[in-house]
Amino acid sequence: MKVHTIEQAVRYAETDRMKVVHHSTYLLWYELGRTSLLEATGFPYHELERSGTLFPVIEYSCRLIGAADYGDRVRVETTIDSLRSRTVVFAYRVLRGQTLIATGKTKHIAVDSDHKTHRMSNALINALRPYAAV
Amino acid sequence: MKVHTIEQAVRYAETDRMKVVHHSTYLLWYELGRTSLLEATGFPYHELERSGTLFPVIEYSCRLIGAADYGDRVRVETTIDSLRSRTVVFAYRVLRGQTLIATGKTKHIAVDSDHKTHRMSNALINALRPYAAV
Amino acid sequence: MKVHTIEQAVRYAETDRMKVVHHSTYLLWYELGRTSLLEATGFPYHELERSGTLFPVIEYSCRLIGAADYGDRVRVETTIDSLRSRTVVFAYRVLRGQTLIATGKTKHIAVDSDHKTHRMSNALINALRPYAAV
Amino acid sequence: MKVHTIEQAVRYAETDRMKVVHHSTYLLWYELGRTSLLEATGFPYHELERSGTLFPVIEYSCRLIGAADYGDRVRVETTIDSLRSRTVVFAYRVLRGQTLIATGKTKHIAVDSDHKTHRMSNALINALRPYAAV
Range of the domain at A96: 4-131
Q: Tell me B4's DSSP state.
A: E
What are the tens digits of pLDDT across the range D71-121?
999 999 999 999 999 999 999 999 999 999 999 999 999 999 888 999 999
- How many domains would you assign to chain A? 1
pLDDT of residue A57: 98
Task: For residue B10, give every residue at least 6 positions away whose Cβ sits within 8 Å of its Cβ, in sequence order, or none.
Answer: B21, B68, B69, B70, B71, B72, B73, B74
Q: Is the pLDDT of residue A134 over 90?
A: no
> What mean pLDDT comes out for the span B53-69?
97
pLDDT of residue D133: 80
- Of the pLDDT bands very low, low, confident and very high (cuts 50, 70, 90), residue B61 is very high
Q: Is the pLDDT of residue C104 over 80?
A: yes
> What mean pLDDT comes out for the span B32-53?
96
Residues D43, D36: Cα–Cα separation, whole Å: 10
Residues A45, A47: Cα–Cα separation, whole Å: 5
pLDDT of residue C62: 98
Other beta carbons less than 10 A from residue B120's beta carbon? 21
Amino acid at D6: I
> What mean pLDDT comes out for the span C94-109?
98
Nearest-CB residue to D58 (from C17, C60, C64) = C64
Amino acid at B52: G
What are the tens digits of pLDDT across the range D18-54?
999 999 999 999 999 999 999 999 999 999 999 999 9
What are the tens digits of pLDDT across the range C50-80?
999 999 999 999 999 999 999 999 999 999 9
- Put simply, the answer to whether C27 touches D24 (Cβ < 8 Å) is yes
The sheet with strand A57-64 has its strands ordered as A4-9, A73-83, A87-96, A99-109, A57-64, B57-64, B99-109, B87-96, B73-83, B4-9
Q: How many C-alpha atoms does A41 have within 13 Å on its Cβ side?
A: 26
Residues A73, A92: Cα–Cα separation, whole Å: 16
- Give φ, ψ of D50 to 5 degrees: -60, -35
Other beta carbons less than 10 A from residue A14's beta carbon? 24
Residues C75, C54: Cα–Cα separation, whole Å: 26
What are the tens digits of pLDDT across the range A10-50?
999 999 999 999 999 999 999 999 999 999 999 999 999 99
What are the tens digits of pLDDT across the range B85-122?
999 999 999 999 999 999 999 999 999 988 899 999 99
- Put simply, the answer to whether D45 touches A12 (Cβ < 8 Å) is yes
Give the residue among B69, A55, B19 at the shortest CA–CA distance from D17. B19
Q: Which residues of chain B approach chain A closer than 8 Å at the C-beta? A: 17-18, 20, 23-24, 27-28, 49, 54, 56-64, 67
> Which of A15, A21, A46 best tests the D interface by mutation, with the highest count of D CBs <10 A?
A46
- Annotated active-site residue A16? The verdict is yes
Q: Is the pLDDT of residue D134 over 80?
A: no
The predicted model scores a pTM of 0.97
- Of the pLDDT bands very low, low, confident and very high (cuts 50, 70, 90), residue C134 is low
Q: Kindly give the pairing relationship between strand B99-109 and strand B87-96.
A: antiparallel
Q: Is the dihedral of CA A12, A16, A18, A21 positive or negative?
A: negative
What are the tens digits of pLDDT across the range A76-128?
999 999 999 999 999 999 999 999 999 999 999 999 988 899 999 999 999 99
CATH of residue A34's domain is 3.10.129.10
Chains sharing 3 or more CB pairs under 8 A with chain D: A, B, C
Q: Is the pLDDT of residue C133 over 90?
A: no
Residue B39 burial by Cβ neighbours in a 10 Å radius (0-12, 13-18, 19+): middle
Contacts of A15 in chain D (CB under 8 A): none
> Which of B12, B15, B17, B27 best tests the D interface by mutation, with the highest count of D CBs <10 A?
B17
